[in-house]
């Protein structure tokens, strides 16, 4: 029984909180502005130590189901507390201020990764 309990605790400690952000840009947003927004988001891991891992990319799906969302950013945290520090962090707030005027739609989804 103790082995099962230990395995359960170990699995719990390995869980990571995924924060998925998808953007659809407003019609007419210049490519240069989108590039600036991308770069600013990509700088967040160097400014916010609570970010465990980070990756991003643009839509390459052949299914045609993106609903106009073209950019996906995946920010991973070791805990909900780390995510809760990230959200109001001044660097994240500055990013949001930069992006907001150019965002037609955004989808944010958080989930606990299960292996």
- What is the distance between the alpha carbons of residues 99 and 73, in angstroms, rounded to a whole number? 13
Question: Which one is predicted more confidently, 12 or 92?
Answer: 92
Burial 40-77 (b: 16+ CB within 10 A, else e): bbeebbeebebbbebeeeeeeeeeeeeeebebbbebbb
pLDDT at site 5: 47
pLDDT at site 1: 47
Give which of 5, 6, 17, 23 is closest to 101, Cα–Cα.
23
pLDDT at site 12: 54
Write the DSSP symbol of residue 79: S
pLDDT at site 14: 78
Question: Which one is predicted more confidently, 6 or 85?
Answer: 85
pLDDT at site 2: 45
Q: At what angle do helices 31-47 and 90-99 cross, to 10 degrees?
A: 170
- What is the distance between the alpha carbons of residues 38 and 52, in angstroms, rounded to a whole number? 19
Question: pTM surpassing 0.75?
Answer: yes
Residue ranges and CATH numbers for the domains of the chain are: 14-112 (3.30.70.100)
- What is the distance between the alpha carbons of residues 77 and 52, in angstroms, rounded to a whole number? 5
72: its two tokens: 């996906």
Per-residue model confidence as pLDDT tens digits over 58-99: 999 999 999 999 999 999 999 999 999 999 999 999 999 999
């Amino acid at each position: 029984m103790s082995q099962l309990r230990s395995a359960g605790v170990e699995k719990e400690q390995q869980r990571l909180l995924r924060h998925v952000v998808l953007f659809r840009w407003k019609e007419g947003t210049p490519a240069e502005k989108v590039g600036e927004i991308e770069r600013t988001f990509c700088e967040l891991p160097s400014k916010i130590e609570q970010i465990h891992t980070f990756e991003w990319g643009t839509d390459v799906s052949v299914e045609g189901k993106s609903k106009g969302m073209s950019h996906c950013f995946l920010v991973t945290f070791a805990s909900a507390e780390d995510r809760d520090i990230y959200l109001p962090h001044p660097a994240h707030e500055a990013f949001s201020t930069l992006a907001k005027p150019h965002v037609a739609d955004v989808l944010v989804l958080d989930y606990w990764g299960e292996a």
